[in-house]
Amino acid sequence: MRNHIFNKLFQAMIVLQVILFLFNSAYAHKVSAYAYREGDKVFGECYFVDGSPCKNSRVQVYDSKGNKITEVTTDEKGKFKFTTSNTGQLKIVIPAGEGHRAEYMLEAAEKVEKKDIKKSEPEKQPEKKEIPKTSLNKEELKQIIDEAIDAKLQGLRTELMDLRKQMDKISIRDIIGGIGYIFGVWAIIMLLKRKKNAS
């Protein structure tokens, strides 16, 4: 009887190791991607689940109707960028080779129309102060402000990308949890079989 239980346990361990090996091999090569817009430019990054970049991979961009807009290549850090006048939803596909593929849906750019901007009447008229005239026109001022905002947001984008990479990684806790789950199911099956044989 004891020998029989030992044999079953040994067989279960072999099956478990094979399953874990196949799972880790497949999961280790999972490809993820992320992209964002800055005006008419789109920036993105493509990486494997372990955080390593998808170097020199093709990046194909499709519009919402499935028409190919452009194709670019990732750099050594897995990053890519392109310019598009399409403000609609974009589908970004990265065929990373060996059957690996990532897809990312980039939402349409937000449009602010003049009718959406509400004018409010000030309660109190502030004192008018003389503003010194500058040599900057409206467009130059807008560009300076946009560049300053983009510089401030770049740090947040980097943190967001790092967070996405960490979320995609498989951790030792996940592996141990999976093993524990399999042993738990196996123990319940063995307990039910034992009760069935006893009666």
Quickly list DSSP for 59-92. Answer: EEEE-TTS-EEEEEE--TTSEEEEE-S--S-EEE
Residue 174 has pLDDT above 70, yes or no: yes
- The rounded distance, in Å, linking the Cα atoms of 86 and 84 is 5
Output DSSP code: residue 133: P
184-to-8, 77, 81, 173, 181 alpha-carbon distances in Å = 15, 42, 48, 16, 5
- The rounded distance, in Å, linking the Cα atoms of 169 and 50 is 6
- Helix extents (H) in the chain: 2-28, 138-168, 172-198
Per-residue pLDDT tens for 137-163? 788 888 888 888 877 777 677 777 767
Q: What's the mean pLDDT when you consider all of the chain?
A: 77
pTM of the entire predicted model: 0.52
Using DSSP's 3-state secondary structure scheme, residue 116 falls into helix
Residue 114 has pLDDT above 50, yes or no: no
Read off the pLDDT band of 75 (50, 70, 90). very high
Tokens (6 digits) for 171: 């951790």
Across-strand partners of 50? none
